[in-house]
Each structure stands twice: as structure tokens, then as C-alpha cells.
Structure 1
Amino acid sequence: MHRFLFALLITAIAIPIGKGQRYRLPKTVKPTRYVLTMEPNLSTNAPTFSGNLIIQFQALSPTTSITLHANDIKIATSSVSIVSSTGANVRIWRTTSNPEVQTFTINLRQPLVSLQHYNLTFSKFTGGLGTGEGFFFDRIFTNEGESLIAATHFQSKGARKAFPCFDEPSFKATFIISLIRQPKFFSLSNQELDHMEELSDGRLKDVYKETPPMSTYIVAFSVLNFKSTPVYERHQIYATSEVINDVFVPLQLSVLMLKSLEDYTGIAYGLNKLDHLAVPNSFIIDNAMENWGLILYRERNLKYNPSAVRDIKRVVTFMAHEFSHQWFGNLVTPEFWDYIWISESFATYFQYFTASQIQPTWRLMDQFNIDIIHQGFLEEEEKGAHPLTYEVQDDQRFPPFYVMYEKGASIIRMMVHFLSHSIFQKAVHRQFQCVTPQDLYRTFQEEINGSVQKVFLGGMNLGDIMQSWETNKGYPIVTATRNYNTGFVTLKQHSPFENGALWSIPINYVYSFQPNFQDTTASFWFTKEYDIIYENVTTGGWLLINKQQTGRYRVNYDLENWQRIIAVLQSDNFQSIHVLNRAQLLNDAFYFAYQKIIPVSIPLTMSEYLAREKDYIPFAAFCNSLAYYLYTYNGNTDKDETKFFLNHRFKDQITPPGPNDYTQEYKIFRVRSVFKSVSVFVKYCLRNVLGFIIIIMVLGRSIYPPPQYLHQGSSTFFSARAKNRFHIVRRATMLHVTLPPHQ
């Protein structure tokens, strides 16, 4: 599953106990295998489906009722039967449906025998093919005619709309799936096709091999008449005739990504095939869905247009995210949706890490700081902070996506650095049975304890450290105040989101006299509200905390240290500070300025050094931070100082890398990050001359996007009307801005 449009409701499962409490399926039985047959009818204007099902289960207690999920499907009591493994029929008293919690309960006349196995049969159930979550249908018209598709998207509670099931992540079972279809269609499912049967009326029945144990939300099947690529190793892509010719590069990338993840995790991919299905953009709720062996994508996220630079990074990272889920989510499955961050945070981290292994020159792990860390800070500041583990109530949504994705992935990256890459990778090799955060920490701790490589955790275990990062809202702010007589550094931590919250913070730091940014493990652990750095201190030069911004926290300094940092940035030696820390300093300084913690002159004066900067990562931090500052403080008195600064001191100094510097990774970055920032300027600043000046400065005298980005219609800044405004501002400000011909 991928982010942005993810807004699925989590429902409950049993009889209400009280207001505000949530409902879960009782753990009185355990499903072990589903034998499922489905037949969609695509020949009508209101497509339907029918099916039959055998659920093999084990009784875990002598219960007289079985409760599972069913939603918007019709099940007759007469179609339900239960037989024990000894062949004895289990007498059913009655069945009841509870639409409020989407359950179907079977009451029995005698209790089940604990630990005995049973077959629960639904001889027939029916339902309608809808849109979005569940079993859905679409009709697409192309130049080659009509394409039809019925497919599934089950996360988080869609499986119950297709067939009766135990629709919680912890109820894993194997699946044998059969699909009945007309000859003009073909079918797909999680596993390989085992065999095909011809039915008496000309229909065909495709029977698929049994899957490994898996949760219902990653079950997938489809009946369709799309086009397909040839099989490339284990991979094949399915799409409409209008898209199929644009998916061959992703097909090649898929082989590299799967191998990269197998190599890193040390665990082979669990199936013999991996299909990719590109569906119309309005067809599914999410941008992609990680079904085991059959990944669904919105067409735009699998369609590769080599002339559109933005497609490159989007396709690669979307694919890497879903591939990561084949391990983190499908193998390692959260026990319940409270812990969905285990799946999504790891997948988000590995979408960047895996893609960076495939395309190392793109510097995606550097872009991670801009896309994930900085954006995650902004989202929590703007939209509200939440803990990682998020108790999902009945009619509530998942935690906001920026908690599962940006916040969680940033914390995973922090773990990678304070544990070290090698320890983290070895722990990943071991952790594939974990289902709760405590399981995760315990398995990682076992690797730490057994390793000859020592890891400094300040006398704590990993669970103690991660408790604060998992359960606290937001992130900490560390304030460092230097004593320029003794060299001691006083540290204070506080939360801008909840009073009294404390974190176990991995602190590492560097001085100007020994600028070693490579060792990103913790120098010490900051667990109290106040602490003092006594060792390896100096009164001279600058101090910088949080090397490569590996920890998920902001850092503020006393004004003297800020001035010393600015001095080195404005010198020829500015590259002695790591590029990720240059980006961090800009992002943090603007944040503290618009929080009125430091003067706005600090980030503005610091930004003057960008006249020398040739790396795009600090430019992204500057653009995003300044855009948010101007938007947030529109009309604030500090904005007058900003306007004066930009007009009189800064406008001729900022010269981002020119068109000759458009390497592939630079193009990707500029389009996705800088022009994203420009869109913020456009939205909030274009009603005044200052907004125009900022855009001109940021883009540079001869900087403009490649022509393929100029056909975005009225939504783009580079429209005909905007172009005319640009010329007006150019004349008014005496700036020489070159624009390409309008297209």
C-alpha cells in the first residue's frame, strides 16, 4: 500500500461492550486454509459475483459460536454447514448478521471440541461488484475497443466484502483460489496457475496453487481482458492497450529490485512469480497495493515516459515501496492495525534504500532527508502529532499517513545509524516472525546481544529506547548552549507537542577542529530534560549536533554558535559541514525563526551562502523552508525584514546550478522538489510582487523546467498568463530572466 489517498476505516468485529470501546474477533477458532471459488459476472450493467467457500479451522476453546466477517454479501443459513475432522456434522442453531460491525455469527447447538479441526462450508454467497475497496469492476474504452476488469483491493477491510473471512491481519491461513470465467477473459491471483478445467457450459475454471500462510488483506484475484508483457524472469506486467508499451522499463527494474531485497534480507522471495497489474487511476483507493504475488498500481505509477523526468523517480520509488512490502507486511505482518507502522515505516525506508541500490547516482538516501524527515516535521507541525502505535477504534481511520510513512521511516533510519548498518541488516535477517513492536525490539536485541560488534545503547535495551519514539507524539527539540569559558555544553530537550514528554535521544556531535561526520552512532544517550557534555569539548570554532541529521529531532543553539556556523558557511570552507547538515541547518533555522525562538536574520543571513552552493539538497531545504515561512507568517512584521533582505541583499546572489548541470538525478530533484516549492510560492505569494521576485530568484536567471513540464494546463505557474506576469516583474526588478517558448 502506498500513501496520499490512504483513508480506510477500521471497523470492529464483535458485540458492542460499551461506547468508545472497539471490537475484535474472538480468538476461539483459528483458520488454517481457505478453499475459495469466485465467479464474477461482467456481462451486465450491474456486475455481480457469486462464490463458494470452505474454511478449514481449528477450535481453540469449547465455544458454541463462530464469529467472522461478512459485509454486503448475501449468505443464506441453509448454505452454511460445519463438519468435524472425524466426519461428524455440527448442528447449527442459527446465524445472525451485524451490519454495524460487519460480522456474521454462527451459533451452535453444542460446543466445539478444543484443538479439533473442522470444515466450515458456505455453499453459496453473492454480492455486487463495486468501486474502490473490495471486489470491484471497471470498463475502460481504448483505441482498440473495450477493456473489462474485475479485481480486488482488500486492505484494510475489503476482503469481507468479497467472501466470509476472518478479516484481521493476525488470522493468517493458506488459500487455494479458483476463478470461473468466460473464454474471452483470463484470470490472475496470488499464486501460479495450477490447472484449468473446462465446465460443461463453455466456461473455464482456473485453479491456482496454494499460497503460503497470509492475511486476508493481501489476497488478490482478477478476471480481465488486458494486454500483457512477456514474462521476464519471474515478472509480468498487465495493462490496457494504451499503457502496455510504457511499462517495459519498469519490467526490467522489477528484476533488479527483487534481487536487491533478497540479497539484503537474506530471505528469498516466497513465490515463483510476481505479477504487476496497472489499473485506471480512479479504480483503486490507494496509489498501489502490495498483494503478495499480484501488486496493483494506479496506471500513472507504473507508466514510464522517458521524456517526463517526474515519471522516473515516481515509478522507481512506488515499485520499491510495494516490493519492500513483500517482506515487510506480507511476511512480517502487524498483529493488528494499531501496529501498521511496522509495515509502512519499514517499506517507506526501504523504498528509498532499495531504489538507491538500483540507481545509486540519484542520491535517493540524501533526498530521503528532504522528502521524509523535513516533510514529516512539517506535517506534524501543521496537521497534528500522533504516536507511532495508534490504537484504532471502531469508526476511526488509520493514523495519518505522515505518521506511518514519514515519521516511522525517519525513526527506522535513526535505528539504522545508532545500531550501525551491519547490525541492522543482520537483525532484519532474524526478524521475520515479529507481529508487535515488542517482538521487533526483542528480535533486534537478540542480534545486538549475540554480535561481536559492540553497540552503545547507554546501558539500555532497544525496547527501552524505542518506547519513547513509539509512544510519544511528535518529535523532540534539543537546545545546545555552550559555555565559552569552560567548553561545556548544556543540553535541554523538550516537546513542542506535549508537556513533559522525554525521549531517549541518540546524541552525536562534531566540532570544527575535527569535522568527522561519518560515524553516526550515538556518542551518548540523552534521556533527561537536561544534561551536560563534558568530554571532548572546546571553546573555539563551531559545534554541530546530529550528524547527517540521522536522529529525528531538531537542534537549536545559542546565538554565538549560530553566528559561528554562519561564518563557516559563508567561507570557502563551507563544505567542511556535511551536505545533509547544511540542509538541516537551513530547515531548522527557518523553523526556529517562524516560532520566534531565534531572529529571522539567522536563517536569512545563513542562506546567503547558497551563492556558493552547488549541491541541490540544501537548495531543496531552503526552498521548502522559505515557502512555508512566507505562507505561515503572511502579514507578519518579520516578513518586511524578509522582503527587504530578498530584494536588496539576496536577489543577485542565489544562482542554482544551471541547465548544463542537469544530470539525471538533478532533473529528478529539481522537478519534484524545487518546482514543488515553486507551486507553494505560486499558491500563496503570487498576489504580490514579492512572490514573483522569490520565484525569479529561486529559479535563477536562466533556470527553467524542461519543456515537457510546461504542458500542465492552468495549474502550472508557467502558463501564458504567468509568463506575461514574469516579463512584467522582470522589467520591474531589472532582472534578466529567460523563459522558453510557451507550449
Structure 2
Amino acid sequence: MFSSKSMKCNGINKYSYRYSVSASTKIQVSVSYLFEKKWYQSIPKKKKSPQDTHMVLVFIPLSYRLPTALVPVSYNITLWPRLRPDPNTGLYIFTATSSRAISPYRKVCKIRCSGEIYILYASADGGGSAPSIVSSWMQPKTQYLITQLNNKLTQGQKYQLYTEFTGELADDLAGFYRSEYQEDGVRKIVATSQMHPTHARKVFPCFDEPAMKAVFYITLIHPPGTVALSNGMEKGNRFNCVSVLFSEIVNTTIDGIAVTKTKFEPTKKMSTYLLAIIISDYTHLSYSQGDTLIRIWARRTAIEQGQGHYALNVTGPVLDFFQLYYNISYPLSKSDQIALPDFYFGAMENWGLVTYRETKLLYDPLTSSNRNKETTATIIAHELAHMWFGNLVTLQWWNEVWLNEGFASYVSYLGADHAEPAWNVKDLIILDEVHRVFAVDALTSSHPLSSKEDSIILPDQISEQFDVISYSKVHRAYYMYSITHYSMKNSDTRYLSHFAYSNTVGNDLWNHLQMAVEANNVSLPRPVNDIMNCWVLQMGFPVVTIDTTTGKVSQKYFLLDPESNIKVKSPYNYEWLIPVRWMKSGEVQRDIWWLMEKEAVNLEMCNDSLWVLANINITGYYRVNYDHGNWERLITQLNSEHQVIPVINRAQLMDDAFNLARAQLVSTTLALKTTSYLLMETEYIPWQSALDNLHYYYLMLDCTEVYQPMQDYIKKLVTPLFLYFKNMTSNWTHIPDRLTDQYNQVNAIRMACRTGVTECQDLTTTWFKQWMDSPQENLIDPNLRSAVYCSAMAAGGEAEWEFGWWQFQGSSVASEASKLMSALACTKNKTLLERYLSYTLNPAMIRKQDATSVITSVASNRVGHSLAWDFVRKQWEYMFTQYGVGSFSFASMISEVTARFSTEAELQQLEEFVEENSAVGFGSATLAVKQAVERTKANIKWLHQNKQEILDWFNSQIQA
């Protein structure tokens, strides 16, 4: 029935096909998507049929978006992936049929959708007649399928558009793809999917835009003994009481091949990017919570080892929390979550069938760390938050990615906190979200949260929107205006209920928040829309400066490089409406004071003897600067009784000071002075903030004469912390009770070993040697393994590296393999690092999903930085064309590989790299490349201006 011959042309799959007869015309169908705005002329070839011969000349204006005159109602899709290669071509293929119910809002004679190459015909529902198909063709520079009809479709009538097609089940991790793994010495194949954001069109012809929602009826044909999963419950599943008597999971034969055919319940009305289809040899854990069946799917070995139990146990409480928080029941009958061996993203919120990397979903109680456990809890909370915010109510277009991702990031911490209240994960938002987004949003190459719809069109442009700005900035802005817990929850419920199964824009959310504010008589200085849009529609953030001698409070657009040229105009002239929470020494936190102009005066902040501290607990998305006297009073307080200042603000004082120094708003010496109190600090959040900021100093200075004095100073700070945890854990024999203490224990060991504390280095090399002597018995505490492995690999030679590589290859636990994969990049042996980089070109050695992680890990090693950069320059074209959807991670790779650039020679290399690869392109890393150039220029200036001052300060501290 279907041909399997295939070839690749310019990275796009092209499949052979045969013609199908509809009414009077044989047709050929191809698809692309719009890449440029111009008029396009299409001249289809002659097609002969028994009834007519004709040539069609069509002129159409290319549009950036699918027309809204025609919308999908439902899809009926049958997919049959072959989990063995075709004996003639060696390719893995899938065959399929698809019937789309479509309905015109007005009369049209052309059908446009997205897809690959198909054959099709049309019919009308309800007994009416359908226009015959005159011709179908592909617009070469688009991903549009254009179908020309001989008559117009009738408004309000439903039509069926039928297609048959063949595709390749490739290993490109996009669309419907192939994942492979070894289990008990047997090579196994998983057919799985990743439709987000624009890959559904690779699988079946569809209206591949988030606003064009429809119901999906899915049937999967698969080998007997395998399991088929999709968004809906399998019909005939024993948990489905209605259909169990009429099972639609049947064994049959097709063309003499024994197969199982599984039909699924229809989905809710949803976007194409949320569709999921998976066939595997997996098994699962399950339990029912109310009317919802919860299942965790993974490799049989992983399930047998208990790696799915934690995810199963945490899912129920998280679902319960969101149902209460939104006051809307979970709308599906089941919640499947599955761990995939090959998956580029951390996770994907497919409605009812969430897909994960194995490291994100699976937790092994014997080998995984509590950091792995926290990651599993928070990412499950993030994806389940999407079941309502993103899936039930969906963004209108990709120019407002924050509307899906930002809110999910915000509430994921609330869900994880409900599931694991002892962790206090909400405090980690400052490190994980705020500090991370500050670093990018302080560049002129940042971008607003919302852009114009017609500026985000191409798939690469869409992928670029999924960055730290969209995920992390909005949830801090949103939190600033969580005026009362009730009003926020109430507005979310009204918003979700009002727009259920449809799409929204950002202002819809603000309007419902305004309704809640008014209903609860909350006083705001301006309407919610005005307050929020100054954060959403302009990029960047302010620095608020408080002069305690005069009471003057002012705001200014904060840029890491104050001399950089701002090319993007702001509708608000880079001014913000800022809520300021503050306190004086010896006093409790004050109520919010609003800064609504460039400058204002608050005389209560005047004081020459008491310190003033603003942005208490970092509720606001801004940095704070003070007059020099107030800075000195705050530093004195830190050095005398640091606990008086809230722990989150201790972290923020250092982060603000270091970044204000980079922006030339305070001296570098003042920034460094904020770290001196760390001799007495034992809390994780301030320590991690300090290490994050000192990391920039390592990047800039580890190849200069400043390196050793800097090492000596940090060694002086970290030694008391190392001894503190040695005592707390009774010489490393116990695990600290608090999660943040466990994290800081890792910091103590990592930095003590890195800076040359002999006791630490002896400890880690001894532990690793004991493991090498008894490979089947790894006694290293799972929480400490990442630090111990790296330290031992850096101190060791080829024997340690080969042992680590052997353990990596044999690990059946993804989190353990991930720790080893990072540690292998810690060696100081350049030959081993070069070999390791070469492995990323071979998916049998390093999976495609992990290739960029290996490269960035090598780049973070001061010995491996230049090797990683040379490798990226040499292999860019190969990686760009072969990594498929993995290019999504190119942005972070470019950022990490260029992070150390601080010389004119490196800037020249970077600019030459950009020029040499302009024809190849940079895809989703385009913005990251611009940011790398901007950062490098800023680094060059910073190093020239600050190196001597830093050297002098470190020397003075070591000699003291």
C-alpha cells in the first residue's frame, strides 16, 4: 500500500508516494512553511486523469500565518511505525492515514495546512458533495500544503480531507522519531514523538498553529507484546470500565504481518504541539487517585529497580495541589508520565502523556542524590501545572511563550513545596530563576517578554523564545503583584474557566487579575494592565538607587555594559512601576512603597547612622544600589551579626554588588568586600550566590597572575565551611537533615578541593580509589558524587578517566550516568579531553541529546576551554545539520563555550566564526551568538579596567 523509499535533501525528509484518485484528479502533495514575505508563483505540472487534463497557474500572496477562514474540527489518525529497518533501504519507516474534519468560516477554494508529502482526497460530512481537488503543491520556501479545489467550500459545512503517507522514523528527536537503548544485552527501539513547537507537521498534515485546536482520534498499529500510548486512555484498558467489554486493543494481521491495533479515547480539544504517540517495550507503575489513573512508564530494568516510585508518589500530591489551587478538576481520566532514553528537552507537557528525559523523571534511591530528587519534584510540578496553564488554556501565538512557561515556572515551586514542605524550595527561586535571568536581561541583546506576532514566524525564531527570559522573568514580575494569595488564585481560576479549551493573549490574564483586585477591594496605584505591561512589553529591568543622606530614590535601566548601544525602543522609555519593600536596622519590614517615576523622595529612608535595606526577600525584579555610607553600614552588619539580615538578602547584597561593579556603578573593591563575612556563613543560598559571582572572576582571571591569589583567598573562606560540615556529619558519616545543608556540603567539598585544601583532595581521591578497587560497591554518598568524581578525575590520570568512562557506559541509572558524564570533563589531560569531544560525533558513544552538554562541560574546564571552542568551530556545520531538534540547546552551548572570552584575539575569532558560518546559520542560537559578541566586548573592557584592582585586593586579604 505504501512505498518506503526515502531520501534526504537539505535536511528535509522527502518520501516517495503513489497517487490516489479523488473525483476526477490524481494529485501530488508536498508541504513547506513560510520563510519570507513575498509573492510566489506556482505552476503545477500537468496531471492526466480519465476525465480531464489541465494546467493551473496560481498566484497567491505568501502569508506568515495560516489563514483563519478554515479551521480543523478533528483528526482521525492511524500510525504504523516499523520497529525494524526496511530490508531494502535500511530505513525505519512509518505509514499512516489521516482524516481531518475541517469547517470553513467563509467560502474558500484553497486549503492550506502544514505537512510533508501526501496523497489525498476530500469528501463532505452529512451526505453533501465535496468539491474535487484540482491540484496540490508545495510552496518551496514554506511548510504549506496548498490544495486547489474546483469549487468553493460552503460556510458552516464540515468536510473530510483524507491523506495517506509514508515517513522515516529517524533518530533526529523531532516529530515521530526513533529512540534506542540496550536492555539485558538486547537492542530495543522506542517509537516516540516530540511535536513541540512546530514538529507535528513532520508527522501528519495538520493546522500546526497553537490557536487551531481540535479533537484527536488516534489509532496505533504496533508489534505484539509492545505497549502503545497516546494522550487519551487506551480503549479496552482494564481501568476503563465503559469500554472494557468492547476492547479495541486487538491482535490482527496486516499484509501477513502480525500486529496489535490500539485505539484511544478522543482527546480534549487541544493544539497540535501537545499530541503524543509512543510505542515501546516499557512497563509501568500505577495507582488511581479519585477518578484519575496515574502511571509512570520507563524501561523495564528501571521500573524493577524502583526508579519510578518517587515520581509516582509525588505526582498525586502535586495534582491535588493544582486542583485546589486552580479550583478546577484535572480534566483527563489519566496522567501518564514516561522516561525516554533519547529526548532533547527536560520534559514536554503533552496533555495526558508527559515525556521526560530519564534524568528528570527517574530517581534511584540507592544512587541518585537529593538534588536529583528535587529536580524530579519540581519538573513534575512544572509539567503538571501546564495541564491547566498551557494545555487547557493556551497561548494564541509563540510571541508570548511566557504566558505558558512563565506561569508554570512560578507555580511549579508552589506545587513542589506542597509535595515536599520540609525542603523550602520556594527560597531557591532566587538562585534558580532570578539571578539566572538577571544575567541575560542586563544585555542589550535581551528581548521583551512579548513581541509582535509577525516578528516571530520561522521555526528557529519560535525556538529562540524558549529562553530564560520567558521561563524566569515573568514569574518574578507576576509574584511582585500577587497582592493577596486569594486574589491571585481567584483571578487564575476565573481566567482558566473563562478561556477553557481556547487561546489567549497576555492582556486577557491581566484583565482577569484586575477583576480579582477590584472584587477584593485591593488598592493599586495603577490598573494591573499598566503595571504589568511595563515589565512585559519592554526588555531589561531597573536598578533602584537609594541615597540615605537625602531620601532620594531613583530608577535607571540596568545594563552590564553602561556604554552599550540600546537599539530597541521601549514603549515606556525604560521606566517601570516598582514596588519597594524595605526595612531599617532594628526594624521590621515596611509596607510597599511605589516608585512610579524616574525620581522620588522618601524621607523615611533618610538616616546617617542606621542602614537601609530594600527589596526585602527579593519580591521585586530589580537591583538595588545605595550611597557609599549605607553600603559600608550593611557590610559592617554582615561582618558583625550577619543573621540580622534575611538570608535571601545576604545573597542578593553580594549579587547586586558584583553586578553593579561590572556596570561601573560601585567599585570592584566594594563588591569583593561583601564576601569577607563568608568566613562565618554556613547557609547555602548566600554561599551559592557568592560562588556564582566569583565564577565570573575565574572565567576572566584564571589565565592571569590574579589566579593564584584568588585561589588562596577563596581557600581561606571555604576552609571553615569544609570543617563545619566535617563536624556536622561526624567526619562525613552522616547526611545533613536540611536540603540546603546537603547542597552546601557539596559546595564545601567542591571548592575546598578545587582551591587546594589537602584534606579535601586526600578525602576524594581515597573514596574514588576505594571504588576503583571494588567497582561493584560504590560507597560514596550519592549527594557528594558529583563533587567527588570531578575532584578525583582532575587529580587523577588516564586510569581514573578510563574507569569513569567504563562506569558511565555500564550505568543503568540515568542520574548516575549524568554525574559521570560531567566528571569526565574535569580531567586535566588534554588528550583525554580531545578524545571525549570526538565521542560527541558518534551517537553510539554519546547520545545526541547529551552532545552539547559534554561540549559545555569540557569548555568549563580551564584546560579544556580552547579545545571545546576549536571543536565547535571545526564541527559547527556538522552539528547544525545533524543534531536535529538538538539545535534547541545550541544557545546554551554557544554561551558556555564563549564565556571565557576576554581578549581582542578571542573577539576576532568569534566574529570570524559568525561570518564563516553565516550561510550555514545558527538557528535557535542566533540570539545567543549576538549575546556572546556583546559579552565578549564587555569582558575585554572589564578586564582592562579591573584586573589590577582585583589583584591588589586579593593580595591584601591573603597577607592580612
TM-score by length of 2: 0.66
Structure 2 match to 1:96:
137
- Aligned partner of 1:208 among 248, 264, 269: 264
CA distance in 2, matches of 1:171, 1:276: 25
CA distance in 2, matches of 1:632, 1:381: 18
CA distance in 2, matches of 1:466, 1:639: 44
Residues 5-59 of structure 1: CA distance to partner in whole angstroms, max 9, x if unpaired?
A: xxxx9x984585349x972111111111111111112232422111122211221
CA distance in 2, matches of 1:373, 1:267: 29
Q: Secondary structure at the match of 1:556?
A: strand
Q: Is residue 444–residue 565 contact of structure 2 (8 Å, CA) maintained in 1?
A: no
Q: CA deviation at 1:415?
A: 3.1
Q: Give RMSD over aligned pairs.
A: 3.5
Residues 399-457 of structure 1: CA distance to partner in whole angstroms, max 9, x if unpaired?
A: 252112222333233333xx2322211111112225211111112111112224x142x
CA distance in 2, matches of 1:200, 1:533: 80
Does 2:368 align with 1:308? yes
Structure 2 match to 1:48:
93
Structure 1 match to 2:465:
399
Q: Secondary structure at the match of 1:150?
A: strand
Q: Secondary structure at the match of 1:90?
A: coil
CA distance in 2, matches of 1:427, 1:643: 51
Amino acid at match of 2:169: L
Residues 618-673 of structure 1: CA distance to partner in whole angstroms, max 9, x if unpaired?
A: 111112122223424567899899678658x8576666851426224035533777
Distance 1:581 1:567, change over 3 A: same
Q: Secondary structure at the match of 1:229?
A: strand
Q: Is residue 72–residue 101 contact of structure 2 (8 Å, CA) maintained in 1?
A: yes
Give the paired residue count. Answer: 685
- Aligned partner of 2:636 among 567, 572, 583: 567
CA distance in 2, matches of 1:695, 1:601: 31
Q: Is residue 616–residue 669 contact of structure 1 (8 Å, CA) maintained in 2?
A: yes
Distance 1:636 1:224, change over 3 A: closer
Q: CA deviation at 1:474?
A: 2.2
- Aligned partner of 2:349 among 274, 278, 290: 290
Structure 1 match to 2:113:
68
Does 2:672 align with 1:604? yes
Q: Secondary structure at the match of 1:469?
A: helix
Q: Is residue 337–residue 398 contact of structure 1 (8 Å, CA) maintained in 2?
A: no
Distance 1:558 1:143, change over 3 A: same
Q: Secondary structure at the match of 2:391?
A: coil
Does 2:517 align with 1:448? yes
Distance 1:16 1:128, change over 3 A: same
Q: Is residue 237–residue 275 contact of structure 1 (8 Å, CA) maintained in 2?
A: yes
- Aligned partner of 2:76 among 10, 20, 35: 35
Structure 1 match to 2:414:
353
CA distance in 2, matches of 1:582, 1:535: 23
Q: CA deviation at 1:717?
A: 2.5
Q: Is residue 442–residue 558 contact of structure 2 (8 Å, CA) maintained in 1?
A: no
Structure 1 match to 2:313:
252
Structure 2 match to 1:738:
none
CA distance in 2, matches of 1:440, 1:38: 38
Does 2:550 align with 1:490? no
Structure 2 match to 1:172:
213
Structure 2 match to 1:614:
682
- Aligned partner of 2:740 among 666, 671, 684: 666
Structure 2 match to 1:729:
none
CA distance in 2, matches of 1:672, 1:105: 58
User: Quick check: 37-46 or 198-207, which moved more?
Assistant: 198-207
Q: Is residue 551–residue 606 contact of structure 2 (8 Å, CA) maintained in 1?
A: yes
Residues 227-267 of structure 1: CA distance to partner in whole angstroms, max 9, x if unpaired?
A: 22244542112211221131112111111111111111111
Structure 2 match to 1:57:
102
Q: Is residue 590–residue 629 contact of structure 1 (8 Å, CA) maintained in 2?
A: no
CA distance in 2, matches of 1:722, 1:278: 34
Structure 1 match to 2:580:
507
Residues 559-606 of structure 1: CA distance to partner in whole angstroms, max 9, x if unpaired?
A: 00001111222223x322211111111111122233332223323333
Higher share in helix:
2
CA distance in 1, matches of 2:586, 2:577: 28
Q: Secondary structure at the match of 1:719?
A: helix
Amino acid at match of 1:75: Y
CA distance in 1, matches of 2:746, 2:127: 63
Q: Is residue 115–residue 145 contact of structure 2 (8 Å, CA) maintained in 1?
A: yes
- Aligned partner of 2:166 among 126, 129, 154: 126
Q: Is residue 94–residue 166 contact of structure 2 (8 Å, CA) maintained in 1?
A: yes
Q: CA deviation at 1:610?
A: 2.6
Distance 1:530 1:632, change over 3 A: farther
CA distance in 1, matches of 2:664, 2:649: 22
Amino acid at match of 1:425: K
Structure 2 match to 1:579:
647
CA distance in 2, matches of 1:513, 1:90: 81
Q: Is residue 133–residue 149 contact of structure 2 (8 Å, CA) maintained in 1?
A: yes
Q: CA deviation at 1:295?
A: 0.9
CA distance in 1, matches of 2:608, 2:202: 67
Structure 1 match to 2:276:
220
Amino acid at match of 1:225: D
Does 2:717 align with 1:717? no
Residues 137-160 of structure 1: CA distance to partner in whole angstroms, max 9, x if unpaired?
A: 233221163432211110011111
Q: Secondary structure at the match of 2:481?
A: helix
Structure 1 match to 2:392:
331
- Aligned partner of 2:494 among 430, 433, 439: 430
Does 2:621 align with 1:557? no
User: Quick check: 711-720 or 363-372, which moved more?
Assistant: 711-720
Specify every segment of 5 or more residues in structure 1 that has no aligned partner in the other structure, as ranges. 1-8, 727-732, 734-743
Distance 1:34 1:466, change over 3 A: same
Distance 1:692 1:111, change over 3 A: same
Does 2:312 align with 1:271? no
TM-score by length of 1: 0.84
Residues 445-497 of structure 1: CA distance to partner in whole angstroms, max 9, x if unpaired?
A: 11112224x142x1x111111222112222211111122xxx52332322317
CA distance in 1, matches of 2:228, 2:67: 34
Distance 1:406 1:563, change over 3 A: same
Residues 91-133 of structure 1: CA distance to partner in whole angstroms, max 9, x if unpaired?
A: 22111123532111111122222233222222x2221112201
